[in-house]
Amino acid sequence: MGKRAQQGDGNAGPLLEQAVRSVLTAPEEGLDLALDTGASLLAASAGQWPAVSRALLGYADTAVGRCWSAGWRPADLVRVVRRGLKPVHLALAVDLIAAEARRHPAAGLDRRWLEQLRELEAEVWWPSDEQYLGAFAHRHRLDRFALATAVLELLRSWGRLPPIAPVGPAPGASTAARRPTGPVTGEPRMLARIRALLAKAESTEYPEEAEALTAKAQQLMAQHSIDEALVAAAAADRNTPAALRIGVDNPYEGPMTMLLDAVAAANRCRVVWAKEFGFCTVIGFDGDLDGVELLYTSLLVQATHALNKAGSGKDSRSKAFRQSFLVAYAARIRERLTAATERTTTAAAAGRHLREDGTEEQLLPDARLLPALAARSAAVDEEVGRLFPKLVSQRVRVSDGEGWAAGRAAADRAALHGRGEIHN
């Protein structure tokens, strides 16, 4: 692991701050000049380069930490860079996040924060802070001026981000400010069972079998939510809804958001779309959030595959066809998931309990069930109102009948599994 930045950077620290300040405050028409001037100052001397490197990683503690305090998380910062900048900025972003993470012991971070760091592979790979920029330039075949320019562009992008609603504690938050965010290690047995079930659904070549496995997976998720609600009711658990962010981006971000909302609604969660930042915030109880992320990821991959096979000739490549396909796909998935959840809830209210292996057992009906579920839904709605007091609805239009029909047919064939990969 690289050595931490040291104090006493000489002129490099003030020079970096001056360059960043000029770039942050520059109007669009003056940005190129500010970048050129700042990068020239930082890259002027090979002898000064190690001090600039050390100063940059020290500055990252402040710049990245300010983003955490404003509600942003590691995956969010990387998503901002991926949407607006280039691969070199993305590599820099991950490194600066890794450098800042040295300040925080892993035990002080919530599990989703740790998962994001792992997924980003945010690790300190450079031998010392003085050698970081030189090693990075060598890796990416950049000269000092080009790398200094990229650094300033990245810091401008992050430095202009507004505060957003937090979805969990920031690193360094006091213990009192933290609230439960689910198990830190492992995962509930039911969720592991769902993963296994859906992996089987993915591998089958028979649509009918995949549909049956799909419905069973959603029923298991609904049963898991019911079980958690009853346990919380019995223990007078004061656990509150949590939230996570999931990236949705062009093309067809509207239908993708509809699909995420369909999965969330069937699992007693709510979705708020921040179109300008390319993500949705999903609000719900922690176990439900895990299931929503799993199912949505799978469905998005399946929808993309089905879309590429659908339609007749060039009509299927038109924007209207694809938009209509994806809207219909999301609408039909909503119907399927909602029906599966309603079947499970009705059965549970009558005392029929779905085991992890998919078989049912008859228990005595529990009169607390429906009030407990209603209370959890009300708590989620209240949390949405607290986090997002001003919301507006968004319509998504369709204009291709063939695309609509193809999308519904694909949704009927879909298996809700979590084995595909998407980038947040």
Mean pLDDT of 230-258: 84
Of the pLDDT bands very low, low, confident and very high (cuts 50, 70, 90), residue 183 is: very low
Nearest to 112 by CA among 183, 195, 188, 60: 183
Distance of CA 314 to the CA centre of its chain: 34
- Burial (CB count <10 Å: 0-12, 13-18, 19+), residue 10: exposed
| Between residues 361 and 376, the one the model is more confident about | 376
Residue type, 117: L
**Residue written as token pair 């959890």:** 376
Report whether pLDDT(39) > 50. yes
Which residues lie closer than 8 Å to 131 by C-beta, 6 or more apart?
2, 50, 53
| Between residues 295 and 121, the one the model is more confident about | 121
Report whether pLDDT(5) > 50. no
Report whether pLDDT(71) > 80. yes
Report whether pLDDT(89) > 60. yes
**Residue written as token pair 């309603």:** 342
Q: Please write the tens of the pLDDT for every residue from 337-349.
A: 898 899 888 888 8
Alpha-carbon distance of 219 to 21, in angstroms, equals: 54
Report whether pLDDT(68) > 90. yes
pLDDT at residue 420, as a whole number: 38
Residue 410 near residue 304, CB atoms below 8 Å: no
Report whether pLDDT(225) > 80. yes
pLDDT at residue 167, as a whole number: 93
Report whether pLDDT(92) > 80. yes
Enter the pTM of the model. Answer: 0.80
Of the pLDDT bands very low, low, confident and very high (cuts 50, 70, 90), residue 418 is: very low
Alpha-carbon distance of 179 to 140, in angstroms, equals: 41
Q: Please write the tens of the pLDDT for every residue from 135-176.
A: 999 999 999 999 999 999 999 999 999 999 999 898 876 544
Alpha-carbon distance of 303 to 325, in angstroms, equals: 9
In this structure, what is the dihedral angle of CA atoms 419, 81, 150, 127, given to the nearest 10 degrees? -50
Residue 416 near residue 299, CB atoms below 8 Å: yes
Report whether pLDDT(397) > 70. no
pLDDT at residue 383, as a whole number: 93
Three-class SS string for 229-255? HHHHHHCCCCCCCEEEEEECCCCCHHH
Report whether pLDDT(241) > 70. yes
pLDDT at residue 176, as a whole number: 43
Pairing of strands 352-354, 360-362: antiparallel
Alpha-carbon distance of 33 to 53, in angstroms, equals: 22
For 81-90, 180-189, 331-340, which range has the lowest pLDDT when averaged over its residues?
Answer: 180-189
User: What radius of gyration do the chain's Cα atoms show?
Assistant: 24
Sign of CA dihedral 158, 164, 167, 168: positive
pLDDT at residue 96, as a whole number: 98
Residue type, 260: L
Mean pLDDT of 181-206: 63
Pairing of strands 242-247, 279-284: antiparallel
Alpha-carbon distance of 293 to 182, in angstroms, equals: 15
pLDDT at residue 315, as a whole number: 62
Contacts 24+ apart (CB under 8 A), 140-147: 140/88, 140/91, 142/88, 143/43, 144/42, 144/43, 144/46, 144/49, 145/39, 145/40, 145/43, 147/43, 147/88
| Between residues 299 and 274, the one the model is more confident about | 274
Residue 5 near residue 50, CB atoms below 8 Å: no
